[in-house]
């Protein structure tokens, strides 16, 4: 769907804050490393909040509206956003539930469709918490590695599903869509193939769609539940990544028509976990934050082009395919032939913090993930430091 152009003069939020202002922040991105380290790692954006979000939170605080969450305003706002942005009018509010955040929501959905010891398939390299959360809840993470092109390898996926069919348990598939770290946007055909394989082999699909609003120009996000055959699927969505609201926790679980009874078994206590102020903030973002989001998306498009040019000039051995979604770049540093993890080398010698590819599982060694959601100046400085570290 076309981007919102109702406020074309909205400034690029990625150019709004200075390094001095950013270093006043006390969150993980800006407090994990010493001040001489440039942090381009964890998924926090270097942006001011969208004005509608600030206004909604300020009004809630002025009213003392800081109790427990209630109602369906978040789900209604998400349904409106999905219809306007993705042309999907199938998000039924009656088949939703608010959950504390996407990862805790994933845990609760997996509890509904699988049991202790059951396998959960993931497409490695993939977001590292997939492994930790799955294993900490007593399930077994099973890798179905991506293809060389960074997309789902359906031969591998079918083989993995087939090997699980003889197990006595209830297998699940944790789909990352768009994919983190590669930034691949799964096509409607790819998602329909996922749904068909899942039905054939009796695998329940839980989709992490947290990065859905953050797509590059020319890319089209397709909700998993919008494709034929996905009626038994479950999805987790949130405004947290697109509007930088990780500290205001809330997310929405969405069930396909055949999964409504599963979602109905979600314990009431789960709905007490989200932040009420978070729900207010996310709702405001989805309803009124479209112009801000589009300014951000334009800035990210610029940053993708900038990173490509900088790597070509200063680090031509680093392979990089600009992402179709997310604000993350997945950099293949294997041709640098470094002694050890590239992330360690860039940190120790260049004083720039990137995310190591190793925790992303099979296929991640030799890669680093770089956060593009910052100013062009800091991206330029980051690549300069990386080049100096291996020069």
Question: Is 88 in the same domain as 230?
Answer: yes
The residue among 235, 262, 288 that closes a domain is: 288
Give every strand in the sheet of 96-99, ordered side by side. Answer: 96-99, 251-255, 234-237, 204-208, 172-176, 119-122, 140-143
Give the domain range for residue 314: 13-49+290-390
Question: Is 214 in the same domain as 278?
Answer: yes
Give the residue from 107, 106, 320, 289 showing the smallest Cα distance to 214.
289
Residue 338 is assigned to a structural domain of this protein: yes
Question: Is 111 in the same domain as 191?
Answer: yes
Residue 386 is assigned to a structural domain of this protein: yes
The residue among 233, 265, 288 that closes a domain is: 288
Give the residue from 199, 186, 200, 184 showing the smallest Cα distance to 231.
199
In this prediction, residue 102 carries a pLDDT of 98
In this prediction, residue 391 carries a pLDDT of 87
Question: Is 201 in the same domain as 116?
Answer: yes
Question: Is 141 in the same domain as 159?
Answer: yes
> Tens-digit pLDDT profile for the chain (391 aa)?
455 544 467 999 999 999 999 999 999 999 999 999 999 999 999 999 999 999 999 999 999 999 999 999 999 999 999 999 999 999 999 999 999 999 999 999 999 999 999 999 999 999 999 999 999 999 999 999 999 999 999 999 999 999 998 777 899 999 999 999 999 999 999 999 999 999 999 999 999 999 999 999 999 999 999 999 999 999 999 999 999 999 999 999 999 999 999 999 999 999 999 999 999 999 999 999 999 999 999 999 999 999 999 999 999 999 999 999 999 999 999 999 999 999 999 999 999 999 999 999 999 999 999 999 999 999 999 999 999 999 8
Question: Is 198 in the same domain as 177?
Answer: yes
Instruction: Tell me the pLDDT tens digit for each residue of 167-194.
Output: 778 999 999 999 999 999 999 999 999 9
Pairwise CA distance, residues 366 & 8, whole Å: 40
Query: For 310-341, b where at least 16 C-beta lie within 10 A, e where not — what string?
Result: bbeebbeebebeebbbbbbbbbbbeeeebeeb
Question: Is 281 in the same domain as 355?
Answer: no
Phi and psi torsions of 353, nearest 5°: -95, 120
Residue 7 is assigned to a structural domain of this protein: no
For the domain that residue 304 is a member of, what is the CATH number? 3.90.1150.10
Question: Is 32 in the same domain as 80?
Answer: no
Residue 330 is assigned to a structural domain of this protein: yes
Instruction: Tell me the pLDDT tens digit for each residue of 269-295.
Output: 999 999 999 999 999 999 999 999 999
Question: Is 371 in the same domain as 348?
Answer: yes
Three-class secondary structure assignment of the chain:
CCCCCCCCCCCCHHHCCCHHHHCCCCCHHHHCCCCCCEECCCCCCCCCCCHHHHHHHHHHHHHCCCCCCCCCHHHHHHHHHHHHHHCCCCCCHHHEEEECCHHHHHHHHHHHHCCCCCEEEECCCCCCHHHHHHHHCCCEEEECCCCCCCCCCHHHHHHHHHHHCCCCCCCEEEEECCCCCCCCCCCHHHHHHHHHHHHHHCCEEEEECCCCCCECCCCCCCCHHHCCCCCCCEEEECCCCCCCCCCCCCEEEEECHHHHHHHHCCCHHHHHCCCHHHHHHHHHHHHHCHHHHHHHHHHHHHHHHHHHHHHHHHCCCCEECCCCECCEEEEECHHHCCCCCHHHHHHHHHCEECEECHHHCCCCCCEEEEECCCCHHHHHHHHHHHHHHHC
Looking at the structure of the chain, the number of domains it has is 2
Residue 129 is assigned to a structural domain of this protein: yes
Residue 66 is assigned to a structural domain of this protein: yes
Question: Is 149 in the same domain as 206?
Answer: yes
Pairwise CA distance, residues 327 & 211, whole Å: 9
For residues 166, 171, 175, 180, the Cα torsion angle rounded to the nearest 10 degrees is -90
Pairwise CA distance, residues 195 & 109, whole Å: 17
The residue among 288, 309, 336 that closes a domain is: 288
Question: Is 341 in the same domain as 208?
Answer: no
Q: Can the peptide bond before residue 125 be classed as cis, meaning omega within 30 degrees of 0? A: yes
CA 84 to chain centre: 20
Question: Is 296 in the same domain as 386?
Answer: yes
For the domain that residue 175 is a member of, what is the CATH number? 3.40.640.10
């Amino acid at each position: 769907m076309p981007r919102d152009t109702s406020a074309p003069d909205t400034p690029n939020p990625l150019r709004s804050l200075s390094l001095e202002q950013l270093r006043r922040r006390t969150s993980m991105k800006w407090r994990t490393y010493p001040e001489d380290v440039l942090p381009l790692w964890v998924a926090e954006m270097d942006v001011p909040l969208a004005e509608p979000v600030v206004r909604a939170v300020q009004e809630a605080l002025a009213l003392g509206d800081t109790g427990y969450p209630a109602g369906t305003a978040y789900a209604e706002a998400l349904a409106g956003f999905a219809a306007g942005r993705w042309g999907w009018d199938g998000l039924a509010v009656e088949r939703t539930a608010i959950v504390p955040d996407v990862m805790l929501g994933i845990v609760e959905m997996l509890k509904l469709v699988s049991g202790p010891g059951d396998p959960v398939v993931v497409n490695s390299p993939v977001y590292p918490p997939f492994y930790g959360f799955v294993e900490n809840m007593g399930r077994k993470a099973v890798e179905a590695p991506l293809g060389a092109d960074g997309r789902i390898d359906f031969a591998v996926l079918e083989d993995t599903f087939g090997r699980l069919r003889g197990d006595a348990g209830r297998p699940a598939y944790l789909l990352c869509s768009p994919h983190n770290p590669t930034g691949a946007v799964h096509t409607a055909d790819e998602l329909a193939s996922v749904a068909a394989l899942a039905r054939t082999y009796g695998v329940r699909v839980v989709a992490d769609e947290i990065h859905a609003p953050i797509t590059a120009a020319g890319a089209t996000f397709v909700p998993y539940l919008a494709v034929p055959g996905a009626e038994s699927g479950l999805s987790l969505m949130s405004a947290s990544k697109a509007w930088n609201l990780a500290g205001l926790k809330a997310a929405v679980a969405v069930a396909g028509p055949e999964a409504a009874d599963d979602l109905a078994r979600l314990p009431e206590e789960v709905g007490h976990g989200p932040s009420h102020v978070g729900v207010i903030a996310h709702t405001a973002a989805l309803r009124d934050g479209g112009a801000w989001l589009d300014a951000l998306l334009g800035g990210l498009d610029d940053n993708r082009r900038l990173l490509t040019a900088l790597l070509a000039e200063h680090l031509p051995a680093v392979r990089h395919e600009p992402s179709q979604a997310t604000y993350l770049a997945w950099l293949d540093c294997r041709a640098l032939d470094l002694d050890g993890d590239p992330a360690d080398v860039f940190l120790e010698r260049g004083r720039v913090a990137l995310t190591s590819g190793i925790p992303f599982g099979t296929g991640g060694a030799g890669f680093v993930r770089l956060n593009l959601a910052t100013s062009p100046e800091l991206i330029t400085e980051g690549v300069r430091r990386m080049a100096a570290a291996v020069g």
